[in-house]
Structure formats: C-alpha cells, structure tokens
Amino acid sequence: MNKKYTTQMNAAKKGIITNEMLEVARKENINIDELIEKMKRGVIVIPCNKNHASISPEGIGSGLRTKINVNLGISKDSSDFEKEIRKVKKAIEMEAEAIMDLSSFGKTREFRKELVDISSAMIGTVPIYDLVGYYDKDLKDITAKEFLNVVEEHGKNGVDFITIHAGLNKETIKVFKRNKRLNNIVSRGGSLTYLWMQINNKENPYYEYFDELLDICVKYDITLSLGDACRPGSVNDATDASQIKELMVLGELTLRAWEKDVQVIVEGPGHMAIDEIESNMLLEKKLCHGAPFYVLGPIVTDVAPGYDHITSAIGGAIAASKGADFLCYVTPAEHLRLPNEEDMIEGIIAVKIAAHAGDIGKKIKNAKEWDYKMSVARQNLDWETMFSLSIYEEKARRYRKESKPEIEDTCTMCGKMCSMRNMNKIMKGEEVDIL
C-alpha cells in the first residue's frame, strides 16, 4: 500500500487516486471525482485488504450497481474442505462480487488463506465464529483481548471486510429484555456475543474496545461490516425496539469509524413484511448517515422452507430498489441444512435477479440497457443472443435443448402461434401460416 495513505477512505480524503478507485470507476462507468467525493463521505466503500493480492476491486454504495454476497465455509457437520473450495470457484465463475467465509470448525485458517489466495471476489468473515476453534476452549473462557486477536489474524490473512456485532452493547440488551420477541436473537454471531456477555457479566468486547478494533482495521484496510445482532428472525419481530435501538448504536459507531478513516457497511434485516421494507431502508440511511446498507433478504414470509431463495429475492429486489447497496444471498437450503453446490447456484441466480431488478428500480446507470438488448433479441428471435444475455446461460441453453420445436425460430410453448414470429411477419407484410 502507498505509504501516503492508510485506507481507501483516507486516500479519498487526501485526494489520492488509488488503483482500486480507478478500477471501480471503470467498472461502474462513473467519474473518478464523483467516486472520491462519495468515498470521503463514507457512502461508497471499496473493501480491499492490502494483503489480498488476487482481488478485483468492487465498489459498494450510492449510485453503484447492487452487489451480491455468497456465504460459504466449513462446519463441524460438514467439514469437507475441498467441496467448499469447489463451491467457491463456482461462485467466482458466476461473478459473485463477494464471498463470506462462515467457517466455524476444523482447518478454518487454512481454508481462509486458500480462499483469499484464489479469490478475485471480496472476502468477508465473522471473526467470532472462529474464536472457539482458534483457541480450543469454551466461549466463556475467552478474553476480550482474544476477541481482538482473532480479528488481527483475519486481517493478516487478507480478509477485506469483517462482520462485527458491536451494536449489541449493555444498553441494547436492556431494550431487548424489556421488549419480548417471538424469536429472540437469531443472528449466530449476535447470540454468541450475547452468551459471552451474560455468562461473564461484561460489556461487549467489540463495543468496549472499539477504538482498538478500528486500529486493526486501519492497519490492514479492513472494511467494517457492522452486524445486526438484533435483526428480526420472523416477520412478527420486524422493526421492533431491539432492532431500532441497535441500529441507532450502529449509527454512532459509524461516525467513530469514519473519524479514523475506516470504511463501514451496515448490516440489516432479516425477516420482514413487504410493506415495511421501504421504511427500513430509509431508517438505516438516516440513522447511519448514508453508509452502504447490506441486507439478508429481507425474507418476506416465514412459511416457505425450501424456497427461501425466492422469499428473499422478492424482498431483496424491493430493498435494492429503495436504497440497499449489497445483498446477501439466501439458498433453498436456508433454515434446513448447509447448502450444496446446486443450492448455492440457485441462491446466486435468485439474488442476482433481485440485485438487477433493484438497479432498474433505482435507475442505476445503464441498468436497463441489458434488458433492452434482451428485448431486441427476443423480437428478432435471436436465440444465441438471448442465451448470451441470460443471467444464467447454462440453464437457458439446457431448457431449449431439452424441448426442440418443430419450427426452429419458435419454442415448444407456442410453436407457430408465437407472437414474436407472427407479428414480425405481419409487420413485414408476409403471409402468416399458423396451421
């Protein structure tokens, strides 16, 4: 890293144009001065650890394409290292902009290092998942200093952004206890933090030592993803006192991070009814000063296990159109099991659809151009172009191949009754033969 700046945000404040900024400006087709101005204000971030050599930088935030994240990693019940690496390679092939390593068991360090080495995508982690395995002792026996030591290790390994549940402080817990929920704390990292705090009767280490945490972020240029421990785990708990109290704390922490030139993403819901999504996007942007918003879903109904890639894509599209900047994928396996490769593929496709639909809704530059080209190809019955423009070309080609029509330029749904085919002929003054 250039010694004249410490983080991408610090460079922006100094008016220094980094290679990462140039790459993001090129990808997004935006003016570099506009990019720098928004980075200075924290409304755009470029997560890029100085130790992640293989990264292809991406920007997240105001006026940019909505980015997607894919969760992967090894666990005690599914610790096949190589299987997860194969999934990683497939996710990168499918152009996921970010991969979060949620590993919690086994060779977590080895997996994380290989992931960083091979990944052109941004890499995120949740350091608290790694605590027990890293120290090989019960959570209750881990010290506050050891919480930070694991963050430092992830920084050394080249992780670009980390989820830290620093908003779950003692004050937030008081609000949580006074306001009963149907599903309590459903965030894994949030529940582990809550457990440690209750057992040890101490403040959240990430909150108490937030300045020390920021120093680590500056050292490696880690983007801080402020986790939502109190995100709703059912539509019944959405937009309740606990969620909003934590969001207010995250807004305060965002300002503290920006004072030290640490880039910030704020994480959000969760499960939420459709009619609450727009107001939640407004609340986050207002309370967290325009920081990029990273949402899981939102999942808009609780009754569709096996199809939660659909429930989340519905919510994600609405959220993105109303200001969310970063969508975490959800697979058909959500709430049921660790996703396999096919689950992952379905989840990626669903979230990519949601992100693009959201970009059209918030009028991101050139977003509709992709759809325009597809519409032209459909009107021209240009199947090869349709395939090449498809969000997942492999499936589109397979469906066409599995059901061949009698008339080559139609499909087996309509055959000679194809509206595109017949209207093209009529408009050209040609005879139309439907029989």
Q: Which residue type sits at 121?
A: A
Residue 154 annotated as lining a ligand binding site? no
Residue 289 annotated as lining a ligand binding site? no
Residue 333 annotated as lining a ligand binding site? no
Best CA proximity match to 229, nearest among 245, 218, 216: 245
Residue 100 annotated as lining a ligand binding site? yes
Residue 122 annotated as lining a ligand binding site? no
Residue 65 annotated as lining a ligand binding site? no
Residue 152 to residue 150: CA distance in whole angstroms: 5
Q: Are 68 and 96 in contact (CB under 8 A)?
A: yes
Residue 309 annotated as lining a ligand binding site? no
Residue 335 annotated as lining a ligand binding site? yes
Residue 104 annotated as lining a ligand binding site? no
Structure tokens at 36: 């720098």
Residue 121 annotated as lining a ligand binding site? no
Q: Are 95 and 345 in contact (CB under 8 A)?
A: no
DSSP code for 306 = T
Residue 267 annotated as lining a ligand binding site? yes
Q: What is the maximum alpha-carbon separation in the chain?
A: 83
The residue whose two tokens read 């599995």 is: 402
Cis omega (within 30 of 0) for bond into 127: no
Question: Strand 44-45 to strand 60-61: parallel, antiparallel, or no bridges (unpaired)?
Answer: antiparallel
Residue 48 annotated as lining a ligand binding site? no
Q: Are 243 and 237 in contact (CB under 8 A)?
A: yes
DSSP annotation string for 375-427: HHHHHTT-HHHHHHHSTTHHHHHHHHHHS--SSTTS-TTTGGG-HHHHHHHHH
Residue 144 annotated as lining a ligand binding site? no
Which residues does residue 294 pair with via DSSP β-bridges, in sequence order? Answer: 267, 326
Residue 294 annotated as lining a ligand binding site? yes
Residue 418 annotated as lining a ligand binding site? yes
What interhelical angle do 308-321 and 274-287 show, nearest 10?
A: 50
Report helix, strand or coil for 428.
coil
Residue 165 annotated as lining a ligand binding site? yes
Residue 328 annotated as lining a ligand binding site? no
Residue 206 annotated as lining a ligand binding site? no
Annotated binding-site residues for Zn(2+) read 271, 335
Annotated binding-site residues for [4Fe-4S] cluster read 411, 414, 418
Annotated binding-site residues for substrate read 71, 100, 129, 165, 187-189, 228-231, 267, 294
Annotated binding-site residues read 71, 100, 129, 165, 187-189, 228-231, 267, 271, 294, 335, 411, 414, 418
